[in-house]
Amino acid sequence: INEIAEQLNVQYVVEGSVRREGDSVRINVQLIDAKTGSNIWAERYDRDYSKLFALQDEVIGRIVEALSVRLTAGEKTQIARLPTQNLEAYDFYIRAEQKVYAIDYKSLEEALSLYQNAIKLDPAFADAYSGYARATVDVLGFDFQRLMLSAVARQRAYEAAGRALVLNPQSSRAYAVLGILQMLDREWDQALASAQKAVAIDPKGDHRLTELVGAD
């Protein structure tokens, strides 16, 4: 943890696990001082799965309380923003997020399908669109032609990123995806502008995407 924290320049790290059994969910959370490795706060929650979003707010509130920090109005708004009101769509999205970073053909195929399922359940789910756009960019980057032809992947990535930004103009990931696509199209000024917007919105966002945009 110390090495990762030093690389990312963070002081605290939140670790946890989630286990779901039927309609119940158990979450173990701990807040760690990344510099010393000491445990600042830890808690276990057993809740009904239908109360997941309320539990999320509760956990965030406890972490903020443990850190003794005062949030700005903008930070409170950002934290309070629910990605979707549809729990089933959110479940598909979380499962996709677990697959998309594996960077192999099978995992990427599964991630794309899971994102699509989330979008079908909630067509206004901005994060699902940006996640789908990111996964589709990986189809291009790793040349998974069996999964999707490059021309089709490029078009779908543009469309999904654009839709994500319509639904949530503060989507850092969507701007990062646009930057990659614009770079591939040799639209250097637009790519740089998109990358800068992505970093401005979320400096600790999907760095792999924004670093690619900044590459020569």
Give the per-residue SS3 of 133-161: HHHHHHHHHCCCCCCCCHHHHHHHHHHHH
Mean pLDDT over residues 154-164, rounded? Answer: 96
Mean pLDDT over residues 47-70, rounded? Answer: 76
Taking only the tens place, the pLDDT of each residue in 18-46 is 787 888 888 888 888 877 888 888 889 88
Burial of 86 (0-12, 13-18, 19+ CB in 10 A): middle
Q: What's the rounded Cα separation, in Å, for the pair 27 and 83? A: 19
- Partners of 69 in beta bridges: none
- Number of Cβ within a 10 Å radius of residue 173: 24
Taking only the tens place, the pLDDT of each residue in 83-107 is 788 888 988 998 898 888 877 889 9
Residue type, 19: R
Measured CA to CA in angstroms, residue 171 lies from 52, 99, 149 at distances of 23, 20, 26
Q: What is the pLDDT of residue 214?
A: 45
Q: Could you give the residue ranges of the DSSP H alpha helices within 35-149?
A: 52-67, 73-80, 87-100, 105-121, 126-141
pTM more than 0.85: no
Band the pLDDT of 12: cuts 50, 70, 90: confident
